[in-house]
Amino acid sequence: MSEKKKTTIVLFSGDYDKAMAAYIIANGAAAYDHEVTIFHTFWGLNALRKENAEPIKKGFLENMFGKMMPKGADKMGLSKMNFAGMGPKMIKKVIKKHNAMTLPQLIEMAQEQDVKLVSCTMTMDLLGLDEKELLDGIEYAGVAAYLGDASEGNVNLFI
């Protein structure tokens, strides 16, 4: 058993700002040498979608979900003050102005720091998402694997 501290985050939310918070905490924990896992479930899976994945044959409902949900981190809306898409633009502007990192940059940094990015297989099944539509280098698992990590975690959050 490792002596490292462990941090796990369930990212349920598909909101840009909540995902930012999740990845900022994850990157911080990784910088302090924690073993970090982000388990993406439900709408949180959208953060892992590729912007330009090849279209995949799906059933009607799965196709509808696929079309209606944001394709990747950069397309996600805000939990508050979304203003039909104006809010994310404002946030991205202040991020740029203050030399902070956008969500896609935070995800890239997490991958460089070996944060374990997990895609919930049950959600993929329900919403009809395919591995080909998701970022490379991520893992696939279910609630049992999450609980294995979390039950040894020092910091466990649901976002």
Point out which residues bind a copy of itself (CB under 8 A). Answer: 5, 7, 10, 12, 14, 17-18, 21, 24-25, 28-29, 31-32, 34, 41-43, 59, 61-62, 64-65, 68-69, 79-81, 90-91, 93-95, 97-98, 100, 122, 125-128, 143-144, 146-147, 150-159
Residue 158 Cβ vs a copy of itself, minimum distance, rounded to whole Å: 4
State the minimum distance, in angstroms, from the CB of residue 136 to a copy of itself. 26
User: In the complex with a copy of itself, which residue's Cβ is closer, 42 or 53?
Assistant: 42
Do 36 and 26 form a contact (C-beta atoms < 8 A)? Answer: yes
**Sheet (strand 155-158) strand order:** 139-141, 116-120, 35-40, 6-11, 155-158
Any residues with CB less than 8 A from the CB of 149 and at least 6 apart, and which? 6, 8, 37, 39
> What gap in Å lies between CA 7 and CA 148, rounded to an integer?
12
User: Considering the complex, what minimum distance in angstroms separates the CB of residue 3 from a copy of itself?
Assistant: 13
Can you read off the two tokens belonging to residue 83? 């203003």
Instruction: Please tell me the distance from the alpha carbon of residue 102 to that of residue 94, in angstroms, as a whole number.
Output: 10
Cβ-based nearer residue to a copy of itself, 55 or 67: 67
Q: Which is nearer to a copy of itself, 50 or 93 (CB)?
A: 93
Nearer to a copy of itself, 68 or 136 (CB): 68
